A and B are shown apart, each in its own frame.
Chain A
Amino acid sequence: MTNLSVEAIAQVEQPLPGAPDNWRRFFSFSTDHKVIGIQYLVTAFFFFLVGGLLAMIMRGELITPESDLVDRAVYNAMFTMHGTIMLFLWTFPALLGLSNYLVPLMIGAQDMAFPRLNAVAFWMVPVFGFILMASFFVPGGPAQSGWWAYPPVSLQNPTGNLITGQTLWLLAVAISGVASIMGAVNFVTTIARMRAPGMTWFRMPVFVWTVLAAQIIQLFGLPALTAGAVMLLLDITAGTSFFDPAKGGDPILFQHFFWFYSHPAVYVIILPIFGVFSEIFPVYARKPLFGYKVVAISSLIITGLSGVVWVHHMFASGTPGWMRMLFMATTMLISVPTGIKVFAWVATIWGGKLRLNTPMLFALGGLTMFVFAGVTGIMLAAVPFDIHVNNTYFVVGHFHYVIYGAVVMGMYAALYHWFPKMTGRMYSEGLGKLHFALTFLGTNLNFFPMHPLGLMGMPRRVASYDPEFAFWNVIASLGGFLLGISTLPFLLNFIGSWVQGEKAPKNPWRAIGLEWLISSPPSAENFEELPIVIAEPYGYGKDEPLVANPDALEVAHESR
């Protein structure tokens, strides 16, 4: 049952010769999941730099209390675009890229279930990225209503034009939604139907479990966001009144549509990073993942709970008391499966033989910051406290610890860990460690000060603020600039190493996993013969083979 699509895949022809050393394939409509994965990653990283540049301009504005560096309208456009770019053009595509590259390799498939759909979904990213960037050049500038686009502010159209930054923004978000649904269908099908012989559910690496859990969220959540976006677009362009209170609409309804997807979206982002942690800790601690099955299942529990917590974003909106209490309880519950994972990682590390390579450093740093974010997350779930800090910098600090501290650090950990596999080259460990030091310092300098600022009562999204907030803002801005600088050793390292790094063996980390049994980079069809899986993942310390046919995959299984 697991190899039913193999013949179908064989018929899919590559537009260009699929030779792994043909660099032009990265600029083609390739259907190879590994090429698409790298296309996603590189495109996403470009937009990460764009979004980061916007953030640094914002930090430049916020280094003084006055509104003096950029115009207020420009500042508002910047935080709107910063949030939108970082979510829809960096984290989502980057994680899709990682998942695209790894999932078929990890489950022993030769490609995704629908390779052409995969390519179409990717090529929508540059399309809506272009639309979003183009909105900088329309009269009135880009959208300025924040990435939530709450009506009535998002309905206000002072230019009177039909094509405004806001309509382009909504168009881009809708296209992004369609692309994500395509990706979700593809991933869920691939994981359900394309596993190699012997790759049972409980032999799948946790990364695959987390991708599955995340993509199921996309399937149930995105329709709500897309519906909300379309209704908002109709309100702006066609004069409907779903959300316009002046015409009897309900602006709060939009918030429900928006957060019904956009809260679970946080788990779409963080779950694959949980997967990355679960892959990396066993390799560099040389121990099996502690409580593998529980960690795997807890991902699905998170998926379930993530669908019933969205109102915690709206505690200060028009939300009645009973609803506040109900969603406080569900929100707190989600910390239980998350806590299980954290404890499992700590127990995996404990008593191991740790090797602090760059991926391990990033994973440990990411875990540390995630635990901090978890603590502040529980605080935010407590309604009376949330009412004070809702829409203040405390929330901004909290979610940047999640999204930069855990997600970006986890992403870097993954990129370093699988760089040899993807490129066939080794990266420079020295530059990697420098990158880690700058990133860890910069992230904490940038985002820790936001917590005291929020407690003191500084609202988010302000272009100017009272002088009492200046001290922490200066530190945060310096941290922000440091984070900008921290990408330089990374770029130098990866570009330099890709071009002329030392050749990578097929398994430089002595890791256990199907992807490490084949050459670096893998051939176009991944596996010459499908692997026959005979063991659970993470068999560190146990001398047991992972597959029955290691020699038939490509090259002989490296013996230890």
Chain B
Amino acid sequence: MNLRLIVSIGTAAIALTLISLWMGQQSYGWFPPQASAESILVDQLFSFLVALGTFIFLGVIGVIVYAVLFQQAGKYDTSDGPPIEGNVPLEIIWTAIPFALVIWIAFYSYQIYDQMSILGPMEHVHKTGIAMAAPAKDVAPADEGSGAIAPIEVHARQWVWEFRYPDRNVTSTELHLPNNQRVKLVLQSEDVLHGFFVPAFRIKQDIIPGRAIDFEFTPIREGRYRLRDSQYSGTYFAAMQADVVVDSPEAYEQWLTAAAAQPPTVAYNRAFDEYRLAQNPISPGWKIVEPAAPPLVNVSTSPSSNPPSGEVSNP
């Protein structure tokens, strides 16, 4: 009997482990493509958490389901169960194991965080208006190609993303980045909180008005991705999106050169377009904060990338 119990618990534990490991592998597929060096680390951590979480969830729920299926009282059985009030060794074990587990998770997360070094703002924040051109040099980007790319300014306002390449005199509403190089952004907001969030990069940082926040990461996959505002910023919050294009270093260089040669034009902006259309049949007429005018930029996103709602988009 005792042997049978040990064998069945052992079998269940092995099955559970295999399912958990399999889930951990599956979890890589639940994300957008891995387009930054940071994303690889985050996905790895998540996979570990999924495997562990699956084990705990299925373990606990398995016991409950077993009890529900096989330990119901008979219809006319009014007797009580055994009066077991506790078991000190068992209680110590199920305090100690979770304690050890969370220390493990926290330590592993710390290691991953350390490797990412996407910059906590505190050391890297400087008040706006102070020497934007000379960002803190004391923090080494920990990358062999450091200093190759001049910082790119990200300006957020209700509800526009605007990107400036000050050394090349280029402005754009589409963020272009070179592949395989440490990129440095300077995040600034002109009105409310916004959030810089590119799901394919797995990185996010709130942008705080009155501060300039240095933010670093390394794109590793060419392609077109989405930048979304992640900190609620008012009426047209959901419309505040932009495209992020990771180019090969050569293509990036070409893009910058071509962009600098283009005369500035009024950019397309979804919030502004939706507001200006003003034939909104579902509007309650509440007075809202007016969207900022679209900026004058060398390169504008095409309306089809983020078409206005409620209206057939006409380019």
> Which residues in A have some Cβ–Cβ distance to B below 8 Å?
66-74, 76-77, 139-141, 144-146, 150, 152-153, 156, 158-159, 245-246, 251-252, 285-294, 316-325, 328-329, 332-333, 335-336, 339-340, 342-344, 346-347, 349-356, 364, 367-368, 371-372, 375-376, 378-379, 381-385, 387-388, 390-392, 452, 455-457, 459-466, 510, 538-542, 560
Contact = CB atoms under 8 A, between A and B. Distances in A.
A318 B231 CA distance: 12
Nearest to A70: B282
Interface string B120-164: 111101000000000000000000000000000000000000000
B116 interface: yes
Given A288-B83, A328-B106, A390-B230, 12 more contacts: A72-B238, A286-B81, A289-B85, A316-B195, A325-B113, A329-B106, A351-B81, A385-B45, A391-B204, A457-B199, A459-B195, A466-B241
A353 B98 contact: no
Contacts of A462: 237-238
B297 to A, nearest CB: 22
Interface string B66-89: 011001110001111111111100
B253 interface: no
A162 B158 CA distance: 23
Contacts of B32: 456-457
A291 B64 CA distance: 18
B85 to A, nearest CB: 5
Contact of A318 (B57, B61, B125, B192): B125
Contacts of A286: 73, 79-81
B85 A372 contact: no
Contact of A388 (B42, B68, B109): B42
B22 interface: no
Contacts of B274: 72
A285 B81 contact: yes
Interface of B: 30-32, 41-42, 45-46, 49-50, 53, 56-57, 60-61, 63-64, 67-68, 71-73, 77-87, 90-91, 94-95, 98-99, 102-103, 105-106, 109-110, 112-113, 116, 118, 120-123, 125, 191-193, 195, 197, 199-200, 202-206, 208-211, 213, 226, 228-239, 241, 274, 280, 282-284, 286-290, 309-310
A328 B73 contact: no
A510 B110 CA distance: 51
Contacts of A77: 286
Nearest to A463: B238
B238 A67 contact: yes
B206 A318 contact: yes
Contacts of A539: 83
A457 B45 contact: no
Given A156-B192, A332-B105, A371-B57, A353 B73 contact: yes
28 contacts: A68-B310, A72-B238, A74-B286, A140-B286, A152-B209, A246-B210, A287-B82, A290-B86, A294-B86, A316-B231, A318-B121, A320-B120, A321-B123, A329-B106, A332-B105, A336-B95, A340-B95, A347-B87, A353-B71, A378-B49, A378-B53, A381-B106, A383-B109, A383-B113, A387-B203, A457-B226, A540-B81, A541-B82
Contact of B98 (A139, A156, A339, A354): A339
A45 B293 CA distance: 45
A76 B83 CA distance: 53
Given A67-B238, A158-B289, A387 B204 contact: yes
A71 B238 CA distance: 12
Nearest to B72: A354
B52 to A, nearest CB: 8
Given A321-B120, A356-B68, A387-B203, A351 B235 contact: no
A91 to B, nearest CB: 22
Contacts of B63: 346, 350
A391 B230 contact: yes
A342 B31 contact: no
B312 to A, nearest CB: 11
A321 B216 CA distance: 14
Contact of B110 (A69, A156, A328): A328
A339 B59 CA distance: 13
B81 A455 contact: no
B91 A67 contact: no
A371 B61 contact: yes
A333 B49 CA distance: 16
B49 A379 contact: yes
B32 to A, nearest CB: 6
Contacts of B195: 316, 391, 459
Given A153-B234, A251-B208, A318 B213 contact: yes
A136 to B, nearest CB: 10
Contacts of A381: 105-106
B95 to A, nearest CB: 6
Contacts of A153: 192-193, 232-234
B57 A375 contact: yes
B19 to A, nearest CB: 14
Given A316-B204, A346-B63, A291 B91 contact: yes
A328 B112 CA distance: 13
Contacts of A332: 102-103, 105-106
Contacts of B211: 318
B306 to A, nearest CB: 8
A318 B237 CA distance: 20
Contact of B81 (A73, A335, A385, A541): A541
Given A287-B84, A541-B83, A340 B94 contact: yes
Contacts of B237: 76, 461-463
B199 A456 contact: yes
B172 to A, nearest CB: 20
Contacts of B99: 333, 336
A368 B61 contact: yes
A379 B53 contact: yes
Contacts of A351: 67, 71, 81-82, 84
Contacts of A144: 234-235
B217 to A, nearest CB: 11
Contacts of B78: 510, 560
A356 B72 contact: yes
